């Protein structure tokens, strides 16, 4: 045995190693793409700057009650008369009165055409469907800057 030379000619199977590296590269690429896709550019809608820098835009605060009533409170809307600064749309059969809301919004847009910002304040029991229906009515009336106030 001592006189024999070791066999230096051997095969190394690199296929499993290359397979492993290709899988790692796939995970690396997917992670990079996923991180880029999931990043959201968020802009503070209300209250991110000082009061002197803030332009006073007319805003509607909409409170959604549990019984289906809607209460609209208009802020910084100088053209809206004092008797219309706080409006209530009564519920209809225990649900939101969307037709009554649309009529009121048409009247408001005639009085205050610059009104575009709406902040909706739902209750915890408010269903998403009802909230989306209310948001659609505001969007259809031309108020496109919609936001939901956290619970």
**pLDDT, block means (10 residues), the chain with 151 residues:** 68 90 92 67 56 72 86 81 80 85 87 86 86 88 84 58
Segment holding 21, helix H or strand E: helix 15-38
- Among 138, 58, 57, smallest CA distance to 98 is for 138
Q: What does residue 121 show for φ and ψ, rounded to 5 degrees?
A: -115, 95
The owner of tokens 């070791």 is 6
Cα–Cα distance for residue pair 8/5, rounded to 1 Å: 9
Q: What is the value of pTM for the model shown?
A: 0.60
- Among 151, 139, 125, smallest CA distance to 60 is for 139
């Amino acid at each position: 045995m001592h006189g024999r030379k070791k066999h230096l000619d051997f095969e190394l199977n690199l296929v499993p190693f290359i397979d492993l590296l290709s899988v790692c590269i796939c995970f690396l690429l997917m992670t990079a793409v996923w991180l880029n896709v999931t990043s959201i550019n968020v802009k503070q809608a209300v209250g991110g700057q000082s009061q002197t820098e803030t332009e006073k835009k007319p805003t509607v605060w909409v409170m959604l009650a549990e019984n289906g009533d809607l209460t609209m409170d208009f802020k910084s809307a100088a053209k809206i008369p004092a008797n219309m600064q706080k409006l209530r749309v009564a519920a209809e059969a225990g649900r939101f009165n969307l037709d009554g809301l649309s009529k009121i919004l048409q009247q408001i847009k005639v009085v205050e055409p610059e009104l575009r910002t709406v902040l909706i304040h739902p209750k915890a029991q408010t269903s998403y469907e009802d909230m989306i229906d209310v948001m659609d009515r505001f969007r259809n009336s031309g108020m496109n800057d919609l936001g939901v106030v956290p619970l």
